[in-house]
Amino acid sequence: MLFIPNSMRLLPILLFLLFLLNACADAALEKSKAHENSINEIIDELSLSECIGQLTLVNSPGNQYDEAFLDEIRKGHIGAILNETNPEIIDVFQQVAINESKHGIPLLVGRDVIHGFKTIFPINLGQAASWNPELIELAAQISAKEANASGVNWTFGPMVDIARDPRWGRIAESFGEDPLLTSILGVSMLKGFQGDSLHSKSYLAACAKHFAAYGAVEGGRDYNTVSVPEFELQNVHFPPFRQLVKHGIASVMTAFNELNGVPASGNHYLLRQSLKENWQFQGFVVSDWASIKEQIQHGTAENEKQAALISLNAGLDMEMASSCYSDYLPLLVKEGKIDEEQIKDAARRVVWVKSKLGLFEKGSSRLSAFTYPVQEHMSVAKDLAIQSMVLLKNEDNTLPLSNRLQKIALIGPMAHDVYEQLGTWIFDGDTSLTITPYSAMKEYLGAHRVNYEKALPTTRSLDQSRFDIAKILAKASDAIVVIVGEESILSGEAHSRAYLGLPGAQEALIRELSRLNLPLVVVVMAGRPLILKNIEAYADAILYAWHPGTMGGPALVDLLFGQASPQGKLTITFPRAEGQIPIYYNHKNTGRPVNEKHHIQLEDIPVRSFQTSLPNTNHYLDIGSLPAYPFGFGLSYTRFEYDKISLRDSLIGMADTVVVMLSVKNVGDRAGVEIVQLYAKDTHASRTRPVMELLDFKRLALEPQEQVYVNFQIPATEFGFYLEDGRRTLEPGSFKLMLGTNSSDVHTTSFTLIP
């Protein structure tokens, strides 16, 4: 009998598996080639005007009886529509496109599903504070299902602009100031929309926006000028877009702003060089509303014909809302100024996305309609709202409130407003689903135990006529919860603000209530970091709720009464004054860094001080350089202790992995979630590097007295950075590692990267 050692007996199985793997890879390659060929066949059959039709995204007329509109679809002059969510109307448009046009190419149906569709989740700046990629992905998937059920198959999100300026209204849509966290959470949202890749089971095709550096508008004024050097683009603003392209996002939307003298919608460096050539983006680029035509306003195009020429050459594929392409591309081809192949390539990209999305097979099929409220969706919305809220202050453990308190005074313009708590960009939000703090608190305590008074008609109101009633109700209560902030309209697109304190008479209301010497909890619902210095001292506790969405009420009540423990951590720095902006954690050291002893007070400066008697460092004489609340900050109802930070190796090769370990213990008497943050600093490099950069984080749910040992494993390559031309570099030398509960409270160790 032939003896075959055990290891040899597996050989035939391994060979067969290898054969199978190769066969699958070949099949996938064949399928992909077939797929490409089928698209090329479609494009080759299209006339020039039909190709241009695929590059045309128009606003829905809002009804299915507009014969001129239907005829444009029939002629193949429209490839996509936006802002239609009536399934019956969408069905008519799709049927005409598929059954009555010459080539039967289905339509893309786009909609802004920014932080929910009917069920609204916290604004993205709030979701980010959860530091919970899985939950954000689930919320995006729910949003995608709800939108898909209405016939929408494409959304204009995730928005991954890096935002450092709270004056900018669109900071509400962002994930904050950090490139790594924005990349991780942007990919989570992408997966929620598209799944792990774009395929026929994807609920929505997604769209990374706004490319690029829209968050760096001068003065925080929306649509304003952006000047960002390539080095900062590569290392701050590009990383989230690189990651979304790497994860197969279907489309990218250009930004309204110019970038270094060239509008993003006509910017060859951005679109053709960086996105399509360097990053090998396979999807299509869509303009933001009329941004192709707005090149005339920018002054880089004399007219719509030139705007079309510039944008198409720059690599912009699909035009939203304006008609420069449909009006002038045929003429530009005829004049020989544009190669028809460029138009075919743009059309090919659009048809490729439609094909990957399975539209040729499934047409206008969609998920069956939901009956709202969908309890599972509402439950996720509540969980994400709980995890997004950030506890900024909790003097003498004012929170959680005891539910033995007989009466709670619930005061303020944001305490019971089904619309305002949803925040910006909620085109399809259903206010009938909203549960406000007042409704939730009555449900939890019983109506007789809640003394509610709006006190101000709106957050901007200066009418203090109901303050007396508010104070009477408060005096008859055991504690006061005042809910203030910004109405929805005060943040979002085109809604930048120069003063960032609480609008209207809200600060006065808080001061008045503080005179009653009752426990005073301030809850802020806003679309941006506000400046709280005028009320901070009057509040015993401050809970930042952002615009918490449909389930903001139940989430807030669970936190106020200890059914849940606050776990949110800021992903945006809170300034102490507008004059500090921009202020962010991952800033450069400069040649004259500020340090603790430089935080002098204006009034402490001796009269006739000699000119050089004060520190010559980069700080403000009147407010210092520290923020009100730093990146990563957020309190809990318990406390965590960090200990035993150690490195596995202190000398690291360029291809090695850095392993850093530590213990975290919940030393309080309540369960809690701690978000352990790992930062790094490249102490010396060929370019200036930030004083610290987020490298990784871990969410730890710990029972009272529970201690865990965690380790971070970071490949050495993660300590590199991009040069101006986009090449990645990794330079040997010493690095600091900082671990802690926020960017200002860290434990430090260091290692050396050796060549």
Query: Which positions touch ligand GLC (CB under 6 A)?
Result: 112, 156, 209, 288-289, 493
Q: By CB neighbour count within 10 A (0-12 exposed, 13-18 middle, 19+ buried), where does 620 fall?
A: middle
Question: Nearest CA to 683 among 618, 746, 748?
Answer: 748
For residue 186, the minimal CB distance to ligand GLC (Å) is 14
Secondary structure (3-state) at 204: coil
Spatial distance between the Cα atoms of 214 and 677, rounded to a whole number of angstroms: 27
Q: What angle do CA 447, 448, 453 make, to 5 degrees?
A: 75
Q: Which residue is nearest to ligand GLC (CB)?
A: 156
CA dist 156 → 144, 226, 380, 432 (Å): 11, 22, 22, 25
Neighbour count for residue 755 (Cβ, 10 Å): 8
Nearer to ligand GLC, 154 or 721 (CB): 154
For residue 493, the minimal CB distance to ligand GLC (Å) is 6
Q: 594, 233 in Cβ contact below 8 A?
A: no
Secondary structure (3-state) at 225: coil
Spatial distance between the Cα atoms of 184 and 130, rounded to a whole number of angstroms: 13
Nearer to ligand GLC, 493 or 682 (CB): 493
For residue 174, the minimal CB distance to ligand GLC (Å) is 11
Q: 265, 283 in Cβ contact below 8 A?
A: no
Question: Nearest CA to 435 among 372, 491, 503, 479?
Answer: 372
DSSP structure class, residue 551? T
CA dist 543 → 250, 478, 745 (Å): 38, 19, 20
Question: Nearest CA to 558 among 328, 754, 384?
Answer: 384
Per-residue 3-state assignment (H helix, E strand, C coil) for 573-632? CECCCHHHCCCCCCCECCCCCCCHHHCCCHHHCCCCCCHHHCCCCCCECCCECCCCECCC
For residue 208, the minimal CB distance to ligand GLC (Å) is 11
Residues in the chain: 755
DSSP for 430-461?
Answer: -GGG---HHHHHHHHH-GGGEEEE--SSSTT-
Q: By CB neighbour count within 10 A (0-12 exposed, 13-18 middle, 19+ buried), where does 119 fall?
A: buried
- Angle, to 10 degrees, between the axis of helix 324-334 and the axis of helix 340-356? 140
For residue 324, the minimal CB distance to ligand GLC (Å) is 16
Secondary structure (3-state) at 205: strand
Secondary structure (3-state) at 498: coil
Nearer to ligand GLC, 96 or 253 (CB): 253
Nearer to ligand GLC, 53 or 158 (CB): 158
Nearer to ligand GLC, 109 or 530 (CB): 109
Nearer to ligand GLC, 317 or 493 (CB): 493
For residue 289, the minimal CB distance to ligand GLC (Å) is 4
Question: Nearest CA to 206 among 195, 222, 215?
Answer: 195
For residue 214, the minimal CB distance to ligand GLC (Å) is 8
Nearer to ligand GLC, 255 or 660 (CB): 255
For residue 320, the minimal CB distance to ligand GLC (Å) is 7
Q: 308, 325 in Cβ contact below 8 A?
A: yes
DSSP structure class, residue 367? P
Q: 158, 206 in Cβ contact below 8 A?
A: yes
For residue 105, the minimal CB distance to ligand GLC (Å) is 22
Catalytic annotation present for 288:
yes
Nearer to ligand GLC, 284 or 679 (CB): 284
Instruction: Check 165, 288, 428, 430 and give the catalytic one.
Output: 288
Nearer to ligand GLC, 118 or 471 (CB): 118
For residue 245, the minimal CB distance to ligand GLC (Å) is 18
For residue 84, the minimal CB distance to ligand GLC (Å) is 12
Neighbour count for residue 91 (Cβ, 10 Å): 16
The residues annotated with a catalytic role in the active site are 288
